């Protein structure tokens, strides 16, 4: 074989080897690039899973926190209602007894309106007056108060109209006469006054 042929063969071999090396390098680079992409993809997928898990945990925590706050608010409202009920029960605990005593007070007032002529009648009236005053003190200490009526403007909450009359000297809606005394227990009306109202 001539030198020329050897050089050509050597060049072809060298050229083939270089091409093969380039192809192998390119394949290797492609594989490395694919591996890096896979790793990046796996890493990014892992990060997304971590982020979505974190969001889920945050959402659950927020939901549990809201539940806790609602339960606490409900309990506070319940406690306030119980306290208000207890205060009302304490405040108006005498209402039933006092309501039943109102006819007794009415009867004492009627008895005191009778004119006593004899000495015995006057002594009896004096005794009735003393008992009535004691009863008034007891009921007042328990929170019972008479409702003002005569000369007041008619109040549907405190007054019960049973008659009307025309009096030119008074304004319309003024209570002219109290027919039966009304009472309130602290701030609650337990019996409205029966009244005559000016037209």
**Closest by Cα among 141, 132, 130 to 105:** 132
CA–CA separation, 192 and 182 (whole Å): 5
- Tell me which of 69 and 19 has the higher pLDDT: 69
What is the dihedral sign for C-alpha 67, 71, 74, 76? negative
CA–CA separation, 69 and 177 (whole Å): 57
- Is pLDDT above 70 for 18? no
- Give pLDDT tens digits for 55-109: 888 889 999 999 999 999 999 999 999 988 888 777 788 888 999 999 999 999 9
What is the dihedral sign for C-alpha 184, 188, 190, 191? positive
CATH topology of domain 95-198: Nucleotide Exchange Factor Grpe; Chain A, domain 2 (2.30.22)
Residue 163 φ/ψ, nearest 5 degrees: -145, 155
- Is pLDDT above 70 for 165? yes
Q: Exposed, middle or buried, 65 (CB in 10 Å: 0-12/13-18/19+)?
A: exposed
Identify the band that residue 8 occupies on the pLDDT scale cut at 50, 70 and 90: very low
- Is pLDDT above 90 for 184? yes
Q: Tokens 């309106």 sit at which residue? A: 113
Predicted pLDDT at 93: 84
Q: Tokens 């004691």 sit at which residue? A: 134
Ranking 17-26, 121-130, 183-192 by mean pLDDT, the lowest is: 17-26
Alpha helices in the chain (DSSP H): 3-91, 95-113, 119-141
CA–CA separation, 144 and 191 (whole Å): 11
Identify the band that residue 5 occupies on the pLDDT scale cut at 50, 70 and 90: very low
Mean pLDDT of the residues in the chain: 81
CA–CA separation, 106 and 18 (whole Å): 129
Mean pLDDT of 125-137: 93
Distances 16 to 12, 21, 26, 128 between C-alpha atoms, Å: 6, 8, 15, 140
pTM: 0.57
- Asked whether 100 and 175 are in contact (CB, 8 A), the reply is no
């Amino acid at each position: 074989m001539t030198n020329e042929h050897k050089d050509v063969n050597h060049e072809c071999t060298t050229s083939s080897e270089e091409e093969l090396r380039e192809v192998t390098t390119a394949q290797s680079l492609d594989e490395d690039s694919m591996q890096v992409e896979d790793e990046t993809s796996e890493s990014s997928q892992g990060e997304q899973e971590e982020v979505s898990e974190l969001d889920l945990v945050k959402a659950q925590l927020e939901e549990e926190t809201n539940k806790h706050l609602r339960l606490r608010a409900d309990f506070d409202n319940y406690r306030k209602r119980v306290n208000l009920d207890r205060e009302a029960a304490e405040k108006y605990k005498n209402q039933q007894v006092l309501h039943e005593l109102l006819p007794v007070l009415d009867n004492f007032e009627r008895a005191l309106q009778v004119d006593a002529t004899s000495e015995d009648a006057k002594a009896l009236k004096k005794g009735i007056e003393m008992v009535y005053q004691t009863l008034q003190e007891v009921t007042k200490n328990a929170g019972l108060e008479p409702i003002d009526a005569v000369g007041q403007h008619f109040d549907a909450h405190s007054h019960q109209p049973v008659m009307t009359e025309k009096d030119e000297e008074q304004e319309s809606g003024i209570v002219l006469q109290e027919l039966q005394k009304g009472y309130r227990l602290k701030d609650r009306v337990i019996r409205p006054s029966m009244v005559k109202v000016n037209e």
